[in-house]
Amino acid sequence: MKSGSPEVLEWRRDPITGVWVIIAPQRSQRPYEFEVELEQGQNYPCVFCEGMESCTPEEAFCLRNEDGKWQVRVFPNKFPALGRREKLFWEKEGLFYERMGGFGVHEVIVETPEHYLSFVDFPVEQLERVVYTYRERMKFWGQEERLRYCLIFKNQGMQAGASMFHPHSQLIATPVIPKRVEEELALARDFYSRERRCVFCALLEEELKMEKRLIFKNEYFVALVPYAARFSYEVWILPLEHCAYFTELEQLSSFAEILKLVLQALAEALGKPVFNFVLHVAPYRRESTDEDCRWVYHWHLEIIPFPVRMAGFEWGTGFYINPVIPENAASVLRKLIDIRVGESCGRH
């Protein structure tokens, strides 16, 4: 099947801010299910459903149960922001503009064959399959030497930017290290050079001592509201042991457990499960300058619950205004999880 060869698919760099932008006109041809929010999910069966496999681009990865039915399924995005067949080049345009070919990877990870099953309601075992898939796809693209970074994220709900109702996440792998990751790395390197330790490990130690922003902790992970949370009820999940690479994650079920508890508590606290989450990991090790990432970086998951409205102040400053005191948000979520965990302990 044709996966839609675009007229233009390129990176452009803004000479004023240094930010790279992907110009991807074919993205505007995406089907958009959510024009009327009330109709959410009514487009059933959709191309992500069981039985509709022939409507997607060719399968890249699949997890099946004993009956041979798929449980998680990965394929290239039909309306990609970046493409593997695009050229990898860099050039000047005019006197001082810069552009690159739109080389990269953009995959869809369909998280369940069940159209109507909400991510928040997945059994822990299914969540475990999803995070296993994240890890395997991230490893897989690590073999492609021209890719420097692999981003996995999920947009849940129309207001969070999803264009399809059927539960899915996305993977975008790029030949450049994202600005946000560069910023994190710069400060983490700076901290490491002064303190000889990972800034995230220091943060965890401090938060475990202070307790007031902790939400939940299991054997391997901690969920907390960051000190300077940008958004109401923003939550981070971090491994307790230092680790820069999600590809090295072994405690899949423990991670699935804490993820489910946090998302359930957010849905309860805020009334509906609409959120973005993003896996922050160290860049692939390609150059000698990437080597220190193993020591200075610490992978984590950032969850940004609805509603997030970027407005004039945020665009103009790069700062944020958060109307919910982080300690209060943590307290609400902690209590909700306590009740749930207490209940589930009682049942056993």
Give, as ranges, the residues between 318 and 347 that touch its own copies (CB under 8 A).
Answer: 318-326, 328
Q: Decide: is 36 part of the binding site for its own copies (CB under 8 A).
A: no
Q: What are phi and psi of 223, to 5 degrees?
A: -115, 130
Out of 72, 109, 173, 203, which residue is the one contacting its own copies (CB under 8 A)?
A: 203
Residue in the block written with tokens 């991230």: 138
Closer residue to its own copies, CB minimum distance, 160 or 249: 160
Out of 33, 107, 111, 184, which residue is the one contacting its own copies (CB under 8 A)?
A: 184
Interface residues for its own copies in 263-292 (CB under 8 A)? 276-280
Q: Decide: is 154 part of the binding site for its own copies (CB under 8 A).
A: yes
* CA–CA dist 326, 231 (Å, integer): 9
Query: In the complex, what is the shortest distance from the CB of residue 229 to its own copies, in angstroms, rounded to a whole number?
Result: 7
Closer residue to its own copies, CB minimum distance, 132 or 191: 191
Query: In the complex, what is the shortest distance from the CB of residue 177 to its own copies, in angstroms, rounded to a whole number?
Result: 9
Query: In the complex, what is the shortest distance from the CB of residue 93 to its own copies, in angstroms, rounded to a whole number?
Result: 8
Closer residue to its own copies, CB minimum distance, 38 or 228: 228
Query: By CB under 8 A, which span of 56-64, 112-120, 195-203, 284-292 interacts with its own copies?
Result: 195-203
Instruction: For Cα atoms 3, 72, 235, give the angle at the middle one, nearest 5 degrees.
Output: 100
| Structure-token pair, residue 323 | 């109307």
Q: Decide: is 16 part of the binding site for its own copies (CB under 8 A).
A: yes
Interface residues for its own copies in 72-101 (CB under 8 A)? 81, 93-97
Interface residues for its own copies in 100-139 (CB under 8 A)? none
Closer residue to its own copies, CB minimum distance, 181 or 336: 181
Query: In the complex, what is the shortest distance from the CB of residue 165 to its own copies, in angstroms, rounded to a whole number?
Result: 15
Q: H or E stretch including 267?
A: helix 252-270
Out of 74, 147, 199, 274, which residue is the one contacting its own copies (CB under 8 A)?
A: 199
Q: What are phi and psi of 186, to 5 degrees?
A: -60, -50
Helix 179-195 to helix 199-210 angle (10° resolution) is 80
**Residue of 281, 304, 319, 25 whose CA lies nearest to 178:** 281
Query: In the complex, what is the shortest distance from the CB of residue 346 to its own copies, in angstroms, rounded to a whole number?
Result: 34
Contact indicator for 308, 253 with CB cutoff of 8 Å: no
| Structure-token pair, residue 142 | 């690590």
Instruction: For Cα atoms 234, 236, 237, give the angle at the middle one, nearest 5 degrees.
Output: 145
Q: Decide: is 39 part of the binding site for its own copies (CB under 8 A).
A: no
Interface residues for its own copies in 229-248 (CB under 8 A)? 229-230, 232
* CA–CA dist 231, 260 (Å, integer): 20
Closer residue to its own copies, CB minimum distance, 182 or 338: 182
| Structure-token pair, residue 81 | 């922001």
* CA–CA dist 274, 158 (Å, integer): 8
CB contact set of 186 (below 8 Å; sequence gap of 6+): none
Closer residue to its own copies, CB minimum distance, 289 or 328: 328
